[in-house]
Amino acid sequence: MQDRLMVALDVDDREKAMLMRDRVGDSVGWLKVGLRLFVAEGPELVRELNRTHKLFLDLKFHDIPNTVAQAIESAGGLGVDMVNVHAGGGEEMLAAAANAAKAFPNMKLIAVTVLTSDPMPKAQAREVALQRAKMALDAGLDGVVCSVHEAQAIKDLCGEDFITVTPGIRWGGQDVQDQKRVADPASAIANGSDYLVVGRPILHAENPAQAAQEAVAMMQSAA
Ligand code: C5P
């Protein structure tokens, strides 16, 4: 189950990222590098983190098809295990990204459907998320980032092999902070999530490895 747990390294420099990497150790299989850390530290740190853990480069590319395809090639050249684009970029952009990713068969390409911060009403967000997941499947992508609440419906629509990556994970009365729709690790697994993204509950824990192990134990209880 630790191979299905991703820690969001939402820190601002190399030192903090390496420290957290060492503190979680092998209690998690994946590290996620987002915009903040990538803009601050760049590809060298990504390569370094990728030596000990699988790496999800979460930069949510959204641009004209050619530019996105080139960015996917650069991500593939870095050797990361997963990268994402924003499905809002449309069919042509998704297809160009999927085509570029073919050269890197070990790298999963996934799409963000609707950002959790998007102000659209919930029912509409769900409908748009399902529609964009289907568009990503048809364009040849491997999966999507979605909330736990949509993961099973996306599996039903797009098939069991279509990957679901779910942030918004909280347990044991943790502060939900800015996440609107949260779920605990057991219900994430029970509701069709393949990979769980956890940031602050691990980053801010007194003992990050122990927090990760707690999440893994809950995931196991649902498997
Ligand atoms: O700290 P927390 O567990 O809320 O972190 C969740 C992580 O997942 C953050 O890195 C955030 O950027 C990312 N994410 C998200 N919602 C999305 C897409 C990504 O929370 N829809």
Q: What is the pLDDT of residues 6-20, one digit of tens each?
A: 999 999 999 999 999
The two three-digit tokens of residue 223, written as one number:
């498997």
- How many CB atoms sit inside 10 A of residue 161's CB? 10
Collapsed DSSP state (helix, strand, coil) of residue 103: coil
Specify the pLDDT at position 122: 81
Q: Give the nearest ligand 1 atom to 201 CA.
A: 3
| pLDDT at position 180 over 80 | no
In contact, 108 and 81? CB cutoff 8 Å: yes
H/E run at residue 13:
none
Is the pLDDT higher at 48 or at 179? 48
CA distances from 54 to 22, 28, 60, 137, 206 (A): 14, 9, 18, 23, 24
| Rounded distance from Cα 167 to ligand 1 centre (Å) | 5
The residue type of 34 is: G
CA distances from 98 to 42, 68, 161 (A): 23, 10, 16
Report pLDDT digits (tens) over 19-47.
999 999 999 999 999 999 999 999 999 99
Whether 102 is catalytic = no
To test the pocket of ligand 1, the residue of 169, 197, 198 to mutate (highest count of ligand atoms within 8 Å of its CB) is 197
CB burial class (10 A; 0-12, 13-18, 19+) of residue 64? exposed
- How many CB atoms sit inside 10 A of residue 179's CB? 18
- In the structure, what pLDDT confidence band is assigned to residue 178 with cuts at 50, 70 and 90? confident
Q: Give the nearest ligand 1 atom to 116 CA.
A: 21
Out of 28-32, 83-87, 148-152, 207-211, least confident range: 148-152
Over its C-alpha atoms, the chain yields an Rg (Å, rounded) of: 16
Q: Single out the catalytic residue among 54, 60, 108, 155.
A: 60
- How many CB atoms sit inside 10 A of residue 222's CB? 15
Q: Give the nearest ligand 1 atom to 115 CA.
A: 21
Report pLDDT digits (tens) over 77-107.
999 999 999 999 999 999 999 999 999 999 9
CATH topology of domain 2-222: TIM Barrel (3.20.20)
| Rounded distance from Cα 197 to ligand 1 centre (Å) | 7
Residue with the smallest CA separation from ligand 1 atom 20 is: 167
Q: What percent of the chain has pLDDT over 90?
A: 88
Q: Which of 205, 189, 117 is nearest to 151 (CA)?
A: 189
| Rounded distance from Cα 5 to ligand 1 centre (Å) | 13
| pLDDT at position 188 over 90 | yes
* Degrees, nearest 5: CA angle 143-78-94: 35
Question: Using a 6 Å CB cutoff, which residues line ligand 1?
Answer: 8, 10, 34, 112, 115-116, 145, 167-168, 179, 197-201
| pLDDT at position 117 over 80 | no
